[in-house]
């Protein structure tokens, strides 16, 4: 049992902490609404672009574009890890970092080198703590810097898979790891193969309608595939940002509830201790009075 002063100090400290967690939860909630609108607005474009690319590549020779050409994974593997710059968001960073660790261990177990691109300080720090250094690092972009970050990450991934100078590629496949924003309560760690592009699958019993396009298929794919790559990265970043805010709001709301529960328990303890102290003082007064009478 602590003294009344100690209990009062603890209650005051927890109330201050609760004010902070309440404020952080409200800020995350306000930002989540805007982020959710952004990811919802981006998904139809990304889905339609993916459909167009799938339709164009369904009956395309894989050699028509070098970003589609599959090859044995003998040089190495590229991994793009998307996390957050800050903590206090539950298991958001830990879950995606653990998935990256498992993927890296799986690839290294078969003798493949891993080249790591990180977006978010927490993922880079976690892997760095485990002895895995990121080759390219980016912070989580703001709304104004999102496109610049997407283009930079896309250029780095493409440069690893298909160098501009004609040198040997450093990696034969590139994966993207991020938290997919399913809803405000659920975020799912997702692994996507970015490169090489998988050609679309055609159903022999129900062949797709051949799209009409101009210019030729080769020229169109040369333009669309880099755009589709950037679209996938952008969608992943938007999903990750929304997932981070949703996870932070849930974590801060839970922390606020826990703080309120602790305050209630400590207040009850404080009242009991004060009542016991008052009773003791009364007993001493009564005892002293009886002694004087005697």
The answer to whether 56 and 213 have CB atoms below 8 angstroms apart is yes
Residue partners of 156: CB distance under 8 A and separation at least 6 = 117, 136
Query: Reduced to 3 states, what is the DSSP secondary structure of residue 287?
Result: helix
The answer to whether 170 and 160 have CB atoms below 8 angstroms apart is yes
Angstrom distance (rounded) from CA 118 to CA 51 = 28
Residue partners of 23: CB distance under 8 A and separation at least 6 = none
Angstrom distance (rounded) from CA 154 to CA 222 = 15
Burial class (CB in 10 A: 0-12, 13-18, 19+), 287: exposed
Please give the DSSP secondary-structure letter assigned to residue 204: T
Catalytic residue among 11, 35, 80, 89: 89
Residue partners of 164: CB distance under 8 A and separation at least 6 = none
Greatest C-alpha distance within the chain:
116
Query: Reduced to 3 states, what is the DSSP secondary structure of residue 169?
Result: coil
Q: Find the radius of gyration of the CA atoms of the chain.
A: 29
Please give the DSSP secondary-structure letter assigned to residue 203: B
Tokens of 16: 């201050």
141 is catalytic: no
The order of strands in the sheet holding 187-195 is 136-138, 113-119, 76-82, 173-181, 187-195
Residue partners of 231: CB distance under 8 A and separation at least 6 = 45, 46, 49, 50
Catalytic positions are 89
């Amino acid at each position: 049992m602590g003294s009344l002063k100690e209990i009062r100090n603890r209650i005051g400290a927890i109330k201050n902490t609760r004010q902070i967690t309440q404020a952080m939860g409200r800020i995350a909630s306000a930002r989540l609404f805007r982020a959710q609108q952004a990811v919802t607005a981006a998904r139809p474009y990304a889905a339609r672009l993916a459909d167009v690319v799938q339709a164009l590549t369904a009956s395309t020779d894989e050699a028509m574009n070098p970003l589609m050409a599959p090859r044995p994974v003998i040089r190495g593997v590229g991994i793009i890890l998307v996390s957050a710059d800050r903590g206090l968001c539950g298991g958001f960073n830990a879950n995606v970092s653990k998935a990256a660790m498992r993927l890296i261990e799986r690839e290294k177990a078969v003798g493949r080198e891993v080249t790591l691109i990180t977006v978010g300080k927490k993922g880079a720090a976690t892997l760095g703590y485990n002895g895995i250094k990121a080759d390219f690092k980016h912070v989580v972009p703001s709304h104004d810097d999102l496109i610049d970050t997407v283009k930079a990450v896309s250029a780095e991934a493409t440069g690893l898979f298909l160098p501009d100078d004609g040198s040997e590629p450093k990696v034969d496949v590139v994966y993207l790891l991020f938290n997919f924003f399913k809803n405000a309560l659920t975020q799912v760690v997702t692994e996507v193969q970015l490169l090489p592009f998988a050609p679309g699958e055609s159903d022999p019993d129900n062949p797709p309608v051949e799209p009409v396009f101009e210019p030729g298929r080769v020229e169109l794919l040369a333009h669309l595939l880099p755009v589709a790559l950037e679209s996938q990265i952008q969608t992943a970043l938007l999903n990750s940002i929304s997932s981070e805010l949703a996870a932070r709001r849930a974590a801060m709301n839970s922390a606020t509830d826990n703080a309120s529960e602790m305050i209630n328990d400590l207040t009850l303890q404080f009242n009991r201790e004060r009542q016991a102290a008052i009773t003791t003082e009364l007993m001493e007064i009564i005892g002293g009075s009886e002694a004087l009478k005697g």
